């Protein structure tokens, strides 16, 4: 049996976007109060019993989302050439955090209480 510790932190940011090539209301400029849940996975804890301090984990995510907070996502350099969908926002945050911590497992981005996208590079079990 393999032991695994999953550490989850939640962060938030507010941003506006409009979806390109979308036939519906979301093609119009609109905004969300996005919720972000990030999962880190560790095989072990340190001498103090911590895999990663929650504050440190939240700071890693905050460093990524500060570029998105109170921004018009379509105009950001980071979103240049891509549609600012929840899928692409989740991947952007994941990639940004991964550059600083390889133990990231997934990023879930909630546009509202009912709609979420999760990005992960973990190979699913068969």
Helix axes 54-65, 86-98, angle to 10 degrees: 120
Residue of 12, 26, 27, 66 marked active site: 26
The CA distance from 42 to 52, in Å, is: 8
Known catalytic residue: 26?
yes
Here the tokens at position 97 are: 């955090």
Burial letters 25-56, b for 16+ CB under 10 A, else e: eeeeeeebebbbbbbbebeeeeeeeebbeeee
Residue of 30, 66, 70, 121 marked active site: 70
The CA distance from 83 to 17, in Å, is: 9
Known catalytic residue: 70?
yes
Known catalytic residue: 111?
yes
Active site residues: 26, 70, 111
């Amino acid at each position: 049996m393999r032991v695994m510790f999953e550490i989850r932190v939640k962060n938030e940011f507010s941003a506006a976007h409009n979806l390109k090539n979308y036939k519906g209301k979301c093609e119009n400029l609109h905004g969300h109060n996005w919720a972000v849940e990030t999962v880190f996975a560790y095989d072990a804890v340190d001498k103090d019993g911590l895999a990663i301090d929650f504050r440190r984990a939240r700071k890693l995510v905050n460093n990524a989302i500060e570029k998105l907070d109170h921004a018009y996502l379509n105009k950001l350099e980071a979103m240049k050439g891509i549609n600012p969908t929840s899928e692409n926002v989740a991947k952007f945050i994941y990639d940004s955090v991964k550059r600083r911590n390889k133990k990231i497992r997934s990023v879930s981005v909630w546009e509202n209480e009912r709609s979420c996208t999760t990005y992960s590079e973990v190979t699913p079990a068969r």
